[in-house]
Amino acid sequence: MSYLILVRHGESGWNVDGRFGGWVDVPLTGKGIGEALLCAAELEEINLDLAFTSKLIRAQETLFLILSKQKKIGVFVHEEAGTGEDRTESGDEAGSDKKENRYSYPTKTEKNLIPIYSSDALNERYYGILQGKKKDRMKEKYGEEQILHWCRSYDEGPPGGESLKDIYGRAVPYFEKEILPVIQAGKNVIVCAHQNSLRALIKHIEGISNEGIRKIRLANARPVIYTFSRGMLVRENAEMDLSVKRNL
């Protein structure tokens, strides 16, 4: 049996400001750091083997705080880099000592290091005309019903931005190619990302309908834990309560 743990980042500065964060790099607040540490304590008994995260700092900060309770040091694996093994001393560009082979996660390493893979496939939704704007002001301008529709609908996102369907189209293939095989191999995996990229994964894993996914919302730094056994991912922790589903 292995574990898959999905965690939305802790509270960010723009969560407090009530802005649509999307692709903007916004760091955690003090409260967000505390939320991540509480999540870390909850996951302390699960020995994590690999980590996946987005390219955005709020998700990466949350992940590193969680790994701190694991007493592990996260090391980013860069897709364009090789292992750096068998390098020559000459620095011959035609050999194995090319620059791109020098910066990556070592294959033989200490037990307290954990590889981290980051991808923009796990990024938050790009909000288009809403990007960076105050939520209250946008509700006044477009109406609360329209904003909710853009944010909750599967097929339609804000003008110039992504729908959940668009996010599903990038997050799920990445999950199937890069993450699921590792879980199937018996490794415990954490994915630290965002409201909508994780909603897309949950929709895929649990077979939730286009309409049903509108009800699913994730609280900051609260883990969704799945066990993988007999070829199936099954949610282990309790169903999200109404307060979590309402969380924006």
Tokens of 189: 């995996």
Spatial distance between the Cα atoms of 201 and 195, rounded to a whole number of angstroms: 10
The pLDDT score that the predictor gives to residue 77 is 86
Which residue numbers are catalytic? Answer: 9, 124
The pLDDT score that the predictor gives to residue 113 is 86
The pLDDT score that the predictor gives to residue 104 is 58
Per-residue pLDDT of 209-228, as tens digits, reads 999 999 999 999 999 999 99
**Phi and psi of 28, rounded to 5°?**
-70, 155
Per-residue pLDDT of 16-29, as tens digits, reads 889 999 999 999 99
Q: The pTM is what?
A: 0.85
Q: 180, 244, 190: which is closest to 66 by C-alpha?
A: 190
Per-residue pLDDT of 227-237, as tens digits, reads 998 889 999 87
**Residues of 42-65 as b/e, b for ≥16 C-beta within 10 angstroms?**
bbeeeebbbbbbbebbbbbbbbbb
pLDDT band for 102, please (50, 70, 90 cuts). Answer: very low
User: Rounded mean pLDDT of 92-116?
Assistant: 60
Per-residue pLDDT of 28-63, as tens digits, reads 999 999 999 999 999 999 999 999 999 999 999 999
pLDDT of 245 above 90: no
User: Rounded mean pLDDT of 196-217?
Assistant: 95
Angle subtended at Cα 43 by Cα 201 and Cα 2, rounded to the nearest 5 degrees: 60
The pLDDT score that the predictor gives to residue 248 is 28
pLDDT band for 136, please (50, 70, 90 cuts). Answer: very high
pLDDT band for 238, please (50, 70, 90 cuts). Answer: low
> Which DSSP string corresponds to 63-116?
HHHHHHHTT-EEEEEPTT----TT--SS--TTTTT-GGGSSS--SS--TTEEEE
Per-residue pLDDT of 157-184, as tens digits, reads 999 999 999 999 999 999 999 999 999 9
- The percent of residues in the chain predicted with pLDDT above 90, rounded, is 71
Cβ atoms of residues 122 and 53 within 8 Å: yes
User: At the topology level of CATH, where does 2-72+112-246 sit?
Assistant: Rossmann fold (3.40.50)
Q: What one-character DSSP code corresponds to residue 178? A: I
Spatial distance between the Cα atoms of 216 and 202, rounded to a whole number of angstroms: 9
Residue 177, C-beta contacts closer than 8 angstroms, at least 6 positions apart: none
